[in-house]
Structure 1
Amino acid sequence: MTRPFQIAVSEADLQRLHQKLESATFPDELDDAEWDMGVPLSEMKRLTAYWHNGFNWRQKEQELNEKLFQFIVPVSVDGFGELDIHCLHHTSANPNAIPLLFIHGWPGSFLEATKLIPLLTSGDENYPAFNLVVPSLPNFGFSSAVKTKGFGLAQYAEAMHAVMTTLGYHEYGRHSSPSYTPQD
């Protein structure tokens, strides 16, 4: 049975992140190195300082929890047992809305779809509306990690189909990037 979900990162995890950011050391940089040699050192230092001193995780966590309808959907995958799949489930007021499974890219997360939710669920007489399901793939985000080797495309498909049927959708559209799982 599906259950509501709220993001709640532990204070210990946030403290550990801040300790790591505070103790970060940086290598020397090559002369005239820009993006052609990877992330420039100045940019890495700027990002590290922002994550350490400027980013407010608790505020972002609250925004996501207030804005997103999040659930855990337990599914069974043949040979891999039970997995808890985190997903967003936003339904349209339109009774003719089309169920749409929106699969994030790799690497990526459910956050890729958050700006699209109001656009896809609203619709009007000129555009279709969708009942949008945005899962975190197994091993990503707040979904279960697979503990057994061999979980591939067929198992990802089985897990996502199980999410959709558990939510009551037996026919649905799907959106995904060309390659949405890590390569074995």
Structure 2
Amino acid sequence: MSIAEGIDTARETLSGHTLPGYAYASTERPLHRIAEVRQNQGVSVRTLARRLGKSMDEVRRQERPDSDMPLSELYRWQQGLESPVAELLVDIDAPLSGPVLSRARMLRIMKTVRAIMETSKNQGVQRLTTMLESQLIEAMPELREVSAWHSVGQRRTQDELGRVAERTVPDSFASDSLR
């Protein structure tokens, strides 16, 4: 085979594909279950975009089941969704296996337990949720790193300002409205 023939063969093989993260496989078989896992965990596209440092459009594009992406990107999604990589991949025979569904349910329970622990001031409730938390971690150690459901909006770091600071109202507004 000549160099020119090799280049033509490579072009034919790569035709229709773009950069990783934007490429779509030519097969109709899904490549991953990212969108399904995100929805099962109750994570919004906006929250995941913030965790991954991507735009919402980019998140939607990459979570398409036929979106082809490198392993490094898949590991970023794994961290953003706080789930094992195996859960993000498609099992050829079964779209949703029993262990994966069970894990998603346990993850939601742990998020609820952590939310109760954050909001409850009752010592009895605190004691029960601590016991439940330790039992869940004993059954599934990776739940130790799971955070609580967000109670209101999104959480900000100490350095970030809220919308009130971003959208200031001029002083003249108050004086004009009083007239």
TM-score range (shorter-chain normalised) is under 0.3
With structure 1 as the length reference, what TM-score do the two structures score? 0.22
* Structure having the larger proportion of residues in helix: 2
* Structure having the larger proportion of residues in strand: 1
Higher relative contact order (Cα pairs below 8 Å, separated by 6+ residues): 1
